[in-house]
């Protein structure tokens, strides 16, 4: 059954380490990845910062960023498309080696927080070992099995669970996406807006559950175990 895992990765081992060292009060959230080529995943990123001039000056010289484009500007946040260098792309591919799907990713206080969905627990274990062998310092905060008890395990309503299952089955979380939000909404016979709100609430429930659960944390030297 599908397994959802929350990881932490230091920015030094992923992306934007230099930017965070120069502008530490950042909050960065990846909205989605888009595939430009078979070996390249392009992140679309929301950024909140007190000084965007300082942020973009740091971003322009950050060795993890090849180039970036500002797509939208608001009072306290901006939306960017970023092209990362090969070393960062490698980390993404390590996490997705066993058919994983990054469902959430954000960074603050020098740490990336990643939520990855795997097809089963063996895929998670394989990915963890694969990353460890290559020196990637992953900290596992929580592990959940996405089964028919989704509502009781994650605080999901029945409709939220069905929506997440349909999104996963139809490839909505793949890179590139195999279905659009409009197509997914049509398949569920709901409006585009209703689907967007349902996904946001479902993702919020998963995050709340992850933050409130402590019994699945991995201690150094402790084998991976599922929470029950």
Q: Is there a single domain that holds both residue 119 and residue 156?
A: no
Full domain range(s) for residue 138: 2-145
83 and 110 inside one domain: yes
Q: For residue 227, is it within any domain?
A: no
Indicate if 69 and 39 belong to the same structural domain.
Answer: yes
Q: What is the pLDDT of residues 24-48, one digit of tens each?
A: 999 999 988 876 655 667 899 999 9
For residue 73, what are the contacts with CB-CB under 8 A and spacing of at least 6? 79
Domain count, the chain: 2
Q: Are residues 9 and 100 in the same domain?
A: yes
Query: Is 223 within the bounds of a domain?
Result: no
Place of tokens 């993890």: 64
Specify the pLDDT at position 17.
95
Q: Bridge-partner residues for 70, per DSSP?
A: 80
139 shares its domain with 154: no
Task: Examine the domain organization and report whether 168 and 140 are in the same domain.
Answer: no
Please say whether the beta carbons of 202 and 163 come within 8 A: yes
Residues 90 and 191 in one domain: no
Residues 80 and 184 in one domain: no
Q: What is the pLDDT along the chain (228 residues), one digit of tens a residue?
A: 788 888 899 999 999 999 999 999 999 999 888 766 556 678 999 999 999 999 999 999 999 999 999 999 998 899 999 998 888 876 777 777 778 888 889 999 999 999 888 888 888 888 888 888 888 888 888 887 765 444 445 667 667 888 888 898 888 888 778 888 889 989 988 888 788 888 888 888 777 766 654 344 444 444 454 444
């Amino acid at each position: 059954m599908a397994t959802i895992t929350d990881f932490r990765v230091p920015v030094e081992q992923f992306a934007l380490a230099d930017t965070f060292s120069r502008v530490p009060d950042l909050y960065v959230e990846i909205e989605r990845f888009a595939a430009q080529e078979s070996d390249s995943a392009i992140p679309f990123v929301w950024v909140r910062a007190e000084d965007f001039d300082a942020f973009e000056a740091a971003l322009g010289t950050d060795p993890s960023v090849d180039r970036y484009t500002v797509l939208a500007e608001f009072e306290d946040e901006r939306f960017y498309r970023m092209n990362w260098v090969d070393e960062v792309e490698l980390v993404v591919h390590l996490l997705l080696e066993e058919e994983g799907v990054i469902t959430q990713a954000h960074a603050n206080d020098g740490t990336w927080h990643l939520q990855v969905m795997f097809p089963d627990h063996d895929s998670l274990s394989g990915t963890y070992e694969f990353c460890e062998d290559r020196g990637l310092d992953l900290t596992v905060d929580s592990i959940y099995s996405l089964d028919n008890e989704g509502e009781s395990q994650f605080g999901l309503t029945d409709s939220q669970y069905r929506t997440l299952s349909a999104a996963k089955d139809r490839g909505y979380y793949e890179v590139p996406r195999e279905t659009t939000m409009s197509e997914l909404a049509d398949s569920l016979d709901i409006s585009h807006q209703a689907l967007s709100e349902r996904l946001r609430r479902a993702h919020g429930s998963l995050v709340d559950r992850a933050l409130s659960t402590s019994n699945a944390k991995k201690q150094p030297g402790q084998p991976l175990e599922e929470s029950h």
